[in-house]
Amino acid sequence: MTTEVIATTWTVAGIRAGAAPVLRRLAAGARDRELTRTYANREVRALAEQRITLVGIAAADGGAGGTVRDVTDLVVAIARADSNVAQALRNSFLLANRVALHHDLPQRALTLARLRAGDLFAGTGNERGGGASGSVHTTLRRDGDGYLVDGEKYYSTGGLYATWFTGSATGEDGRVYGFTVPASRDGVQRLDDFDAIGQRLTQSGTTRLVNVRLSADEVTPRDNSALDVPWAGSFAQLYLAAVEAGIAAAVLDDAIAFGRDRARPIKHSSAARSVDDPYVRHTVGEIAARAQAARAVVLLAAEALDGVREEREPEERRTTAAAAAVTVAQAGVIAVESALKAAELLFDVGGGSATDRDLGFDRHWRNARTVANHNPRQWKAAVAGAWHLTGEEPPTTGLF
């Protein structure tokens, strides 16, 4: 359970400085963890103790201050060290972003206290119930002065790292409700069954809910119909793009290290050393360009979301938010394609030895591909095109 911590004054610079050695350890062990399916429990706990999710929350609320750009830059840095960990922390950062944006958020003071205490959050609405995407088959029913919830949630990102689990359930009145419970509560079963080709260590398995008892104050109705900015998913989509940018940066790190220390020029090369081979130089330069492009577009999109925060006039705020959602979508397209291409090019830095399993270079492409499959970039590009051609607003499904 949460123990409130309010004595420390947190700052963006202080959190980044405290997180830096943790990220170095995280990066140093990323390959070995991938090969042995070992989780970064110690490093994730250390990052939480640095209060990374307080970046972007106002100092008046006990946060570190800072902008969406500051948050995004931090996420890129975490993903550069280990994209699995960045993905596992996504729900914690998404909740922190909601707290920063919405001062009328239900249970806001309690959530702030939990974030200030360094708690981590997992959650998902995803189910495999056979209905349309977004259908909620998990049930919530009255039981005395509280509730009981039953169901299964898939892709519970960061589930085994988390202190709290947030989900959705359909009540007896047919409405969808949100709930947040301690992950250790009786009936909450967290399974390590995530089986994707990449991002295998995000602890994103199934959460099974069996007669989990909820108090009345742990349940809130979900209703986004009155939002003045209906693109509630823009930051969530930016987060995925930031993970891709971090993967591209990690590819560049490996390309440089391999080119300097292990790669050999081919027999008919004009160079005696790999670092002098013109084609190795070209390849590393192209990887660097892709990594730079990914980073640049996500930070540009973050600045667009900062512009939404700063806009106060309702009509202008909606227009600014729609444009920002398109900017985020465009950033997603470029970040995904940059990461995938960079991960492919990594193998052109060396010969057959670059494919040695112990190097773990394949993890970059697999991780980038898995993140990219969360939300199809074809839709992002098409929505952006519609906006530019006809002014059509992006969908309000949460994916923009």
How would you classify the pairing of strands 219-221 and 176-182?
A: antiparallel
The mean of the pLDDT values for the chain is 93
pLDDT band at 131 (very low <50, low <70, confident <90, very high): low
Owner of token pair 């494919």: 355
Res 1: pLDDT: 47
Domains and CATH numbers, the chain: 12-119 (1.10.540.10), 139-221 (2.40.110.10), 234-390 (1.20.140.10)
Q: Which residues contact 10 (CB under 8 A, 6 or more apart)?
A: 51, 54, 62, 63, 64
Q: What percent of the chain is predicted at pLDDT more than 90?
A: 80
d(CA 112, CA 6): 11
Span 238-248, mean pLDDT? Answer: 98
Res 133: pLDDT: 58
pLDDT of residue 2 exceeding 60: no
Res 35: pLDDT: 94
Tell me: the pLDDT tens digits for 353-397?
Answer: 899 999 999 999 999 999 999 889 999 999 999 999 999 999 998
How would you classify the pairing of strands 176-182 and 188-190?
A: unpaired
Most confident among 1-10, 119-128, 302-311 (mean pLDDT): 302-311
pLDDT band at 174 (very low <50, low <70, confident <90, very high): very high
Res 46: pLDDT: 98
Higher-pLDDT residue of 169 and 269 is: 169
> Whole-model pTM?
0.94
pLDDT band at 222 (very low <50, low <70, confident <90, very high): confident
